[in-house]
Amino acid sequence: MLDIKGVKNKTMTINKNYLNLKDSYLFSTIAKRVREYSSENPTAKIIRMGIGDVTLPLTASVVSAMAKATAEMGEVANFKGYGDEQGYGFLRDAVKGYYSQKSVEINADEIFISDGAKSDIANVLDIFGLDNTVAIPNPVYPVYVDTNIMAGRKIVYMDGFEANNFLPMPDKKLKADIIYLCSPNNPTGAVYTKEQLTEWVDYANKNNAVILFDSAYEAFVQDKNLPTSIYQIKGAKTCAIEFCSLSKTAGFTGTRCGYTVVPKDLEREGKSLRNLWLRRQTTKFNGVPYIVQKGAEAVFSAQGQIEVNKNISYYMQNASLIAATLKDLGVWFCGAANAPYIWLKAPKGLDSWQLFDKLLTSANVVGTPGSGFGSNGEGYFRLSAFGNNELTAEAMERIKKAKMF
Ligand code: MLT
């Protein structure tokens, strides 16, 4: 900065909140450790059950819709430049139709197409004051904590442990303005019931709080009695924003497409949060490519849903096999029934990272240390069901043989 005489009197500064973050993002740390191990042990056949990345390719309907859209982009008559601000109407209508099947009525102008749930969950913080207190489950997907540390907001942790099935509930002590809920939960696979979500919605409406509801894994819920959207709960439209993604549902981890719902009824300080989010997105985001949105539209077609459900069943077979193996070995675990994650307890005497190292070196299997999801995850471990069936079966055989449990 220069003073009135043009003399520099202050050095430029950085956002020092970043200094409060751990050195690297959980999944980057894991990838680095695995790279190091692989280069020291080039013949090791590593089976990856760490990051929740899909292994099945895009389905036939998606590929054909994207191919058609690509061809259109090469024709003068059909070429598209910038897309519609909130996403193309055809995709917002398809998402609206998907919600209708869950008995949830959402208007197309309450739906915002995005490049995935992760970015929206992080970016939505732009529309909230820095003086808000944020309540975050412990353990949970690390993006919620990291993005609030970056902004310097006060965080209070909501304890998840075996006794509450890793599903924290509001209590008298809780004083929070922004509340993160993730159901089905990453990393524990636990799912809130309708009664439990009703308690949260009532808490938020009573206390003027906003729930940021991450439903990225909703398509994996098998039990028809469990909610797959917070808007299936009465009163949620006045207190909740929902984030969803096609990453895990339809194999879009690399293709990138998700959607966020901000109901028009959601207001704070007399202002519409939907309008604030629209203002934020139109200023800072130019939308998802037409070709990708056409692929996403195909996911919601009748044939697209058949294909996607087939892929989900494939991953859920892995989840069942992992669960059966752990049961045989007498290992405590949760998840697997309604989510693609299995959350297990490390053997006595091993912390999460020690189990990570042991699994990597003695079975060449990669998982995710529970402590990476928060302090209450220490002593636990997450296995992902997104692998291929044969490799998952082999990983289970290796785990049994390694006799670490
Ligand atoms: C995970 O493994 O937790 C997820 O893949 C992370 C993500 O979806 O960003």
Q: Which of 25, 27, 49, 246 for a ligand 1 pocket mutation test, highest count of atoms within 8 Å of Cβ?
A: 27
Ligand 1 centroid distance, CA of 269 (Å): 34
pTM higher than 0.85: yes
* Residues contacting ligand 1 via CB (< 6 Å): 51-53, 118, 141, 186
Atom of ligand 1 nearest to the CA of 50: 2
Pinpoint the residues of the chain covered by CATH 3.40.640.10.
62-300
Residue 30's Cβ-count burial label (10 Å; 0-12, 13-18, 19+) is: buried
Ligand 1 centroid distance, CA of 400 (Å): 26
Q: What is the pLDDT of residue 394?
A: 98
Task: Tell me the pLDDT tens digit for each residue of 183-233.
Answer: 999 999 999 999 999 999 999 999 999 999 999 999 999 999 999 999 999
Atom of ligand 1 nearest to the CA of 245: 8
Phi, psi of 6 (to 5 degrees): 80, 20
Cα separation, 217 vs 194, whole angstroms: 16
Atom of ligand 1 nearest to the CA of 141: 3
276's enclosing H/E stretch is helix 273-284
**How many helices and strands, by DSSP H and E, does the chain display?**
12, 15
Cα separation, 335 vs 52, whole angstroms: 14
Ligand 1 centroid distance, CA of 329 (Å): 27
Residue indicated by tokens 């209708």: 100
Atom of ligand 1 nearest to the CA of 248: 8
Other CB atoms within 10 Å distance of the CB of residue 199? 14
How many Cα neighbours within 13 Å face the side chain of 47? Answer: 23
299 and 152 in contact (C-beta within 8 Å)? no
Ligand 1 centroid distance, CA of 317 (Å): 20
First to last CA, the chain: 60
Among candidate residues 20, 260, 279, 27, the one with its CA nearest the CA of residue 141: 27
Other CB atoms within 10 Å distance of the CB of residue 397? 11
CATH architecture of the domain with residue range 16-57+304-402: Alpha-Beta Complex (3.90)
C-alpha radius of gyration, the chain, whole number:
22
364 and 135 in contact (C-beta within 8 Å)? no
Ligand 1 centroid distance, CA of 116 (Å): 11
Task: Tell me the pLDDT tens digit for each residue of 232-258.
Answer: 999 999 999 999 999 999 999 999 999
Q: What is the pLDDT of residue 44?
A: 96
What does each of the 405 residues of the chain score in pLDDT, given as a tens digit?
566 676 677 889 999 999 999 988 899 999 999 999 999 999 999 999 999 999 999 999 999 999 999 999 999 999 999 999 999 999 999 999 999 999 999 999 999 999 999 999 999 999 999 999 999 999 999 999 999 999 999 999 999 999 999 999 998 899 999 999 999 999 999 999 999 999 999 999 999 999 999 999 999 999 999 999 999 999 999 999 999 999 999 999 999 999 999 999 999 999 999 999 999 999 999 999 999 999 999 999 999 999 999 999 999 999 999 999 999 999 999 999 999 999 999 999 999 999 999 999 999 999 999 999 999 999 999 999 999 999 999 999 999 999 989
3-state secondary structure of 385: coil
Which class would CATH give 62-300? alpha beta
Pinpoint the residues of the chain covered by CATH 3.90.1150.10.
16-57+304-402
Q: Which of 186, 245, 380 for a ligand 1 pocket mutation test, highest count of atoms within 8 Å of Cβ?
A: 186
CA angle at residue 271 from 270 to 276, to 5 degrees?
170
3-state secondary structure of 372: helix
Q: Going by CA atoms, what residue is nearest to atom 9 of ligand 1?
A: 118
CA angle at residue 58 from 54 to 61, to 5 degrees?
150
Ligand 1 centroid distance, CA of 38 (Å): 22
86 and 278 in contact (C-beta within 8 Å)? yes
